[in-house]
Amino acid sequence: MNAAPSFVGAWQYAPVRDPKLLPIVEKVEAGERLTFEEGLTLYHTPDYNTLMRLANRVRERKHGSKTYFVHSLRLEFTNICYVGCTFCAFAARKGEARAWDYSVEEVVDKVREKWEPGLTELHMSSGHHPNRPWSYYPQMVRALNENFPGIQVKAFTAAEIEHLSKISKKPTLEVLRELKEAGLVALPGGGAEIFAERVRKQIAKNKVKAEKWLQIHREAHSLGLRTNATMLYGHIETLEERLDHMDRLRQLQDETGGFYSFIPLAFQPDANALAFNLGKTEFTTGLDDLRNLAVARLYLDNFDHIKGYWVMISSDLVQVSLDWGVSDIDGTIIEEHIAHAAGATSPLGLSRQKMVQLIQAAGRIPVERDALYNELRVFEAPIGSGSRATN
């Protein structure tokens, strides 16, 4: 009896329908970097089956069947913001009935109120508050570490760091250094949106510029603060602009190696000016979401993880995405408000058990990690029913 075919050999049994992909298949098999033009070929190919298998090939080369998640709490300490990004439905003006603005004591109380056993990550990103003094921010980080020993505070996007630089009149590097001294352990990847200036002028003209966003992450990495990177897609950007965004991240990762993961964020078409002006009422399609994740997995060869953000693309599609290059599905996220303000229909959070079941039902091995991607627990055996997770 012949031995089972190797993965390389298996390509023969699942033909590559698009001949333009053949040289890319060879490069992926050889572990070679793809060019910009090859990235565009991946975006345009009608051969989704081969695209999926290529992305899965790289994903399994890096992580096997392991799929990572974190038990995390999401906290937005204010929604007051003066920036005015057109895609945002979260921000409020000071004095609006729906605005909130927590003191340091209230932030501590909110975390205590939502606390669950085993919680490791506190993820915070919020608005650009026009009046809070610089001292508020390191005090908040310090208070959280004092009141919740062992919690890992991952907070402040690069856009927020630039805002803190302005109000403190300190260089961004010094802002980062002082926040790290207060107990900050990592930065989320928000504020990146799309780096292309054409798009940025229309969706986030008052937010941190692309080069400054990259500089702040470069500075964070120089201090030993690891970060994540996002990309907001599905609005007015072109496929070339998506790839340009990834290309700039790939270059910085080559330079610093400081990114943990890349997180594509699907545009949410509700209650924001951009959606209204575009007449857009529909979410990104599942196929576009999966293709985007697969291209990211193949193009960002120097990133450890591509993250499927279930809050925006649903927990159902995230299960499928584990065969399209995704190796991390973020976390329990108790409880998210930014995407939900713009129309996200997912739950405000998922339990640890449901995260595990969701991953196991997709035939993968759940690994609970912390904010710094240290492995805390590997779930080799099924828990609960082991059937398809429900919300």
In a domain, residue 80? The reply is yes
How many domains does the chain contain in total? 1
Question: pLDDT tens-digit profile of 207-248?
Answer: 999 999 999 999 999 999 999 999 999 999 999 999 999 999
Q: What are phi and psi of 248, to 5 degrees?
A: -65, -35
Known binding-site residue numbers: 81, 85, 87-88, 193
pLDDT in tens, 288-322: 999 999 999 999 999 999 999 998 899 999 999 99
Q: Where are the alpha helices (DSSP H) in 124-209?
A: 136-147, 158-168, 172-182, 197-203
Cβ atoms of 221 and 227 within 8 Å: the answer is yes
* SS3 category, 331: strand
Q: What are phi and psi of 101, to 5 degrees?
A: -160, 95
Tell me the two tokens of residue 167. 């109000």
pLDDT classification of 339: cutoffs 50, 70, 90: low
pLDDT for res 280: 87
What is the predicted pLDDT for the residue at 386?
41
384 pLDDT higher than 70 = no
Q: If pLDDT is split at 50, 70 and 90, which confidence band does 108 have?
A: very high
Q: Single out the residue of 282, 323, 352 nearest to residue 121, CA to CA.
A: 352
Place of tokens 């040289």: 23
pLDDT tens per residue, range 180-202: 999 999 999 999 999 999 999 99
Q: Is residue 252 part of a domain?
A: yes
Annotated binding site for [4Fe-4S] cluster: 81, 85, 88
Confidence class for position 335, pLDDT limits 50, 70, 90:
confident
- Percent over 90 (pLDDT), the chain: 82
Query: Which among 180, 172, 185, 263 is positioned nearest to 212, based on CA atoms?
Result: 172
Task: Determine, yes or no, domain membership for 311.
Answer: yes
Statement: residue 7 has pLDDT above 80: no
pLDDT 10s digits, 121-137:
999 999 999 999 999 99
CA dihedral 347, 74, 119, 382 (to 10 degrees): 30
| H or E element in which residue 229 lies | strand 226-233
Whether 362 maps to a domain, the answer reads yes
pLDDT digits (tens, 9 = 90+) for 351-360: 999 999 999 9
Averaged confidence pLDDT in the chain: 92
Binding-site positions for S-adenosyl-L-methionine read: 87, 193
Whether residue 21 has pLDDT greater than 80 = yes
CATH number of residue 225's parent domain: 3.20.20.70
Write down the pLDDT at residue 12.
47
Is 171 inside a domain boundary? yes
Q: Nearest to residue 32, comparing CAs of 325, 239, 299?
A: 299
pLDDT at 9: 52
Amino acid at position 182, single letter: A
Domain around 300: 63-367
